[in-house]
Structure 1
Amino acid sequence: MTDYSRVERLALSDLLDQLGPDQPTLCEGWDTYDLAVHLYVREADPMAGPGIMIAALADTTERRMKRAKERYSFTEVVDKVRNGPPAVSIYALPKIGHQLNTTEYFVHHEDVRRAQPAYVVRTLPADQQEGLWKAVRLASKTMTRKSPSGLVLRRPDGTTAVAKRPTELGSVTVTGEPGELVLFCFGRQQVADVELDGEAEAVDQLRNASFGV
């Protein structure tokens, strides 16, 4: 069975090397160097990890990222990302690492790809799409909890999952391949290749809603 979290890790690392440290990403305020450092400290620095999820600890994460940038060149950081987490990291446990990184590396790979001019939406292998569908079904309720309307995720084959029950604005159905639904639910609504079906006000608000951790 292919580990697509590793496939995405390697592809992203190659792309970072190709582009260099000062190219844009879809992560507001981050260039490619910042994104690489984020990926490195997330897996390798236990003091940095909690601040990625907990806003009150974000300052600590920022300080640890700054320290990593001062210590390592861009090329060194990318090599560390490519080589994977240290043996003592929870991310080094194969099953846990795969579960935690399935969406992480896919989304951040697209954060770099889709920030470049004339990007092309990739056609992903069917088994990767299945893995992303499983992941987005599990994560969508948390990631889209601030949705102003109800939200139904729909695959092109008609399979659906309810991310949020209807509100006073009703519900919007978002249709796309699982990878595109992942991007939508992880706050990349503006670049996700999806179709939205619902009342105009609900659709407009949904496109600009704050999604993510």
Structure 2
Amino acid sequence: MSAITDLRNQLVSVLLRTGPGKPTLCEGWNTEHMVAHLVLRETRPDIAAGVVIPPLASRTDRKTEELAGQLTDGRSYMEAVEKFGSANAPQRKNETVDYGMNFAEYVIHREDVLRGSPDSTEMNGAESRIEGENERIWKTIGSQGKMFAKDYPDGLTVVGTDDDGEPAYGSKTLREPSASSRVSGLVQKVVKAPSTGEHVTITGTPLEILLYLFGRREAANVRISY
């Protein structure tokens, strides 16, 4: 099987072992909300579009809540997880497209469930990663991390380590300081993200850095330096 298929199957296994009613790292979402989101994302893109198109967000939120409300019992929840796992989504027909669209999404949502509560962590045990996962995440950070670098107008560098904190993946500068962040006064006001006046460096394993960049800052085990 391909890496993206392995990761999808792993996400399915984590969701099934955890079951409904367990908190996730997504505020206000239990595991049934996560399953609803994944099912809609890959079977009803017209509804899921609100995730990236703000005017449609309220409809997406409403439909997600409605479907989640139907998944609070074990059987319905299990059927929905299996529906996600076997969905005939168009992007799955092309492995490259499937990987590009879903790799980071699946990793993040797997961790949303695994780290959502002590119960979820215990039920899944020492959940293994797919083969070469950190190497794949490191490449993903290089290609997609720039999307998040806009929040760091004074520059952003990431340093990848192994699980013991030893340098393993080198470093990537995702954003150099912008010209407007180097000056003060009225010019600084045009920068959308708040300026700290310092270049930020995030150090950790690729997985932890990815979690931090995707907004799971409290759950991510990283070191921030300036």
- Amino acid paired to 2:209: L
- Alpha-carbon shift at residue 165 of structure 1 (Å): 2.5
Does residue 184 of the first structure (1) align with residue 186 of the second (2)? Answer: no
1:76-155 matches, within 5 Å, as: 76-83=79-86, 85-87=87-89, 89-117=90-118, 119=121, 124=129, 127-147=132-152, 149-155=154-160
Q: Which residue of 1 aligns with 2:188?
A: none
Q: 1:140 to 1:55 in 2, by over 3 A?
A: same
- Alpha-carbon shift at residue 15 of structure 1 (Å): 2.0
Unaligned 5+ runs, structure 1:
199-213
Q: Which residue of 2 aligns with 1:57?
A: 56
Question: CA deviation digits over 1:153-211, x for unaligned, max 9?
Answer: 1112361112233345211211112111111111112121222221xxxxxxxxxxxxx
Unaligned 5+ runs, structure 2:
161-166, 182-195
Q: Which structure is larger by alpha-carbon Rg, 1 or 2? A: 2
The two structures have a TM-score, normalised by structure 2, of 0.76
- Alpha-carbon shift at residue 20 of structure 1 (Å): 1.7
Report which stretch shifted further, 34-43 or 147-156.
Answer: 147-156
Root mean square deviation of aligned Cα:
2.5
Preserved CA contact (<8 Å) 1:183 1:189: yes
Percent of pairs identical after alignment? Answer: 30
4+ runs deviating over 3 angstroms: 66-72, 118-126
Q: 1:169 to 1:49 in 2, by over 3 A?
A: same
- Alpha-carbon shift at residue 148 of structure 1 (Å): 6.0
Count the aligned residue pairs.
195
CA distance in 2, matches of 1:17, 1:95: 27
CA distance in 1, matches of 2:126, 2:207: 10
Q: 1:126 to 1:90 in 2, by over 3 A?
A: closer
Q: 1:15 to 1:158 in 2, by over 3 A?
A: closer
The two structures have a TM-score, normalised by structure 1, of 0.80
**What SS class does the counterpart of residue 145 from structure 2 fall into?**
helix
Q: Which residue of 1 aligns with 2:173?
A: 162
